[in-house]
Structure 1
């Protein structure tokens, strides 16, 4: 068993938002993204399936030409190679746990 404190994790370098890897293995990676009001993760595609779990706040999950409003405790599955992004359009912090599933 290992206790991981979020504040002790290093921010992922080279990105314009607060993202921190919580856990990584051969089959899965957990990243917590914390977006301040107005911040966003630009649309991009990745070669693995992804699950987004909203752990705090509300915002927008963008899929190609479709925006989906999400709230705390909502979860969305994203197929690999589907363009997606995140946007905090609220006045509060928007935290999303990103679960990357590697084949």
Structure 2
């Protein structure tokens, strides 16, 4: 019998892990080549500015938020994709009154920890 190849992760059932930002962050895929995290920021929540050792792509699933990458700061809304180069300080803020959901894809898979600034 052939082994199953398809893996389905339901975000609501995925375990959230404690993180230095104190927000709802759920690792939904962790392979040799990449990591995918589902991030939810409640109204008024924000990430601490930090540096990731690898390139990151953010895809806004729901809501609107402020993304800061290096010296740039922009408001983005659902169905926006944002690229963040490795080793550039960045963070997300949810200034609105609705939740902000962002899919975070890190490539290649980080071998060192993210550094909080």
Runs of 4+ in 1 over 2 A off after TM superposition: none
Extract unaligned runs of 5+ from structure 2.
1-5, 110-117
2:10 to 5, 21, 35: 5
Task: Give the TM-score normalised by structure 1.
Answer: 0.94
2:98 to 86, 92, 99: 92
Q: Which has the higher strand share?
A: 1
Please say which structure displays the higher CA radius of gyration.
Answer: 2
- Residue 82 of structure 1 corresponds to which residue in structure 2? 88
Does 59-68 or 21-30 show the bigger shift?
A: 59-68
Task: Give the TM-score normalised by structure 2.
Answer: 0.83
1:45-70: CA deviations, max 9, x gaps? 11100000000000010113221110
SS at match of 1:40: coil
Superposition deviation, residue 43 in structure 1:
0.9
1:5-39: CA deviations, max 9, x gaps? 11211111134100000001111100000000000
Does 9-18 or 25-34 show the bigger shift?
A: 9-18
User: Take 1:61 and 1:55, find their aligned partners in 2: how far apart are those partners?
Assistant: 14
User: Take 2:34 and 2:49, find their aligned partners in 1: how far apart are those partners?
Assistant: 21
Extract unaligned runs of 5+ from structure 1.
none
CA contact (8 A) 2:58 2:103 kept: yes
